[in-house]
Structure 1
């Protein structure tokens, strides 16, 4: 049933996944709060809207860059993994960094075409810099940006200065505002590195098992993902390689960040969702495939109720 439903790109899949996402988020939030007032419901539905927007961005990225074979399995995995972390009390503040990183990755993957190339570089750096105000370690995604520049543009050139200009266009107005209104401490706090939560000891048991399960799935899927790279054209191969690099950068961001906040774990999910599709597309036995997808869904739901 799952393979039949998400094995093809259908607009109806968005409605199903959006509904599941909203219900799962509402249910998980109700489990962890007693104040079910208007503010609670407005925050919950706004969070669901932001996550649905991320879902749409992921579909746009996979379609434009041909990361999947005209199916919605990446969206299915995206929703499954989101369900798996809903014990972390996901609120709008935790979703904004995810949105800015996905917007940046969308522009980075678009480097494979030379249309509006400078604008794409500027946009990617701009969104990453905005994301840094939520989590300083998002700066690591600039590695992905410059790697893509190196892959698609060759040796360093004046284009490499564009990310610095984009970052300056974000940082300078914010600094000027904080300086003029005597809020310079607010500006420095954006880039304060917290070293109190670098240990995995701070993970709760649900987060620990989510990380173990998804990392094993990533390694398992990576075998099929890399094997398929040999069959791709040069530009597509580079784009798919950037997804792998993005996943490991998001892991680095997680372990360097304040781990008790859910925004850091959300950054891994888009990359992991695309990687997870490789096995599903490569495996041909439908019954085993249905069982595999069903187990993932049940496993992620189980983390919420455990």
Structure 2
């Protein structure tokens, strides 16, 4: 039943996902308000909502524009379900900003398969990644995905290998000039984030631990499902799916290395995992399997969400 609702793209599906997003956002914000006297201003809430909505739009645009999924609404649905597993994302503006710029970078890297204006796409992707790293330093590791994309598509031109360095210098100069002119503490923020911390002892309750465990099991299942069935995918899309696999792995490394760790940092893995989950559902011939997988994710995500309020 659930699969029949989202197996096609329609305004009803998008509206339902966006309403669920808004409802969960305000439920979580209301929960924060009950737990403390810290009141988030309307302008701050509006900014967070805009970031979330634009991120959902980008996810849907990328998968539709590049044919990463069939004509369904599964990608944004799974992106929402993974968000619900870790509701602290809803109050972390730095992580949301970083993920937004990473999505812009992913859009350019995936479109490299067309071989149109590759240099502009490589430079743009690097620039977005370096901007994302200003909000969360270890996002800089996604530059590895740029080089992986170059290997897949345009490795013969040596100038493509130098473009990330050009983008880095350009972004660094603009950032340092702006920081010195406006607020020098921006530099301190980046330097603090540049530290590493491998500890996983940040949980404040068992529900966060359970949500992470559920996510890890689901992520590993869909990751290996994609890896082992990659050769069955259309040849023209295999490079893009490989980027999803590498993007997920790099996002996981970002989470592991990050200081002041929390589950919200897994947001960097949600887009590639949503694509892999969608493919797992769409390429299955068993209706019962599709329903069971989707039902497990829906129930698990909502239980984790309400348990953490």
Both proteins in one fold, TM over 0.5: yes
2: CA distance, partners of 1:223 / 1:121: 28
2: CA distance, partners of 1:138 / 1:37: 29
2: CA distance, partners of 1:192 / 1:21: 32
Shift of residue 170, structure 1, vs aligned partner: 1.4
TM-score normalized by structure 2?
0.89
Paired position in structure 1 for 2:232: 231
Instruction: For 1:94-133, list aligned pairs within 5 A.
Output: 94-133=95-134
3-state SS, counterpart of residue 151 of structure 1: helix
Paired position in structure 2 for 1:199: 199
1: CA distance, partners of 2:43 / 2:2: 31
Give the direction of change, closer, same or farther, for the CA distance of 1:179–1:155 in structure 2 (3 Å limit).
Answer: same
1: CA distance, partners of 2:14 / 2:51: 14
Shift of residue 302, structure 1, vs aligned partner: 1.2
3-state SS, counterpart of residue 175 of structure 1: helix
Paired position in structure 2 for 1:44: 45
2: CA distance, partners of 1:124 / 1:4: 36
1: CA distance, partners of 2:181 / 2:41: 35
Instruction: For 1:1-306, list aligned pairs within 5 A.
Output: 1-34=1-34, 39-87=40-88, 89-155=90-156, 157-179=158-180, 183=184, 186-193=186-193, 195=195, 197-204=197-204, 205-261=206-262, 263-306=264-307
Q: Which runs of 5+ in 2 are unaligned?
A: none
3-state SS, counterpart of residue 68 of structure 1: coil
Aligned-residue CA RMSD (Å)? 2.4
Shift of residue 103, structure 1, vs aligned partner: 0.6
1: CA distance, partners of 2:74 / 2:181: 50
1: CA distance, partners of 2:181 / 2:39: 36
Query: Which moves more between the two structures, 202-211 or 263-272?
Result: 202-211
1: CA distance, partners of 2:157 / 2:203: 40
Count of aligned positions: 305
Give the direction of change, closer, same or farther, for the CA distance of 1:43–1:160 in structure 2 (3 Å limit).
Answer: same
Superposed structure 1 runs of 4+ greater than 6 Å apart: 35-38
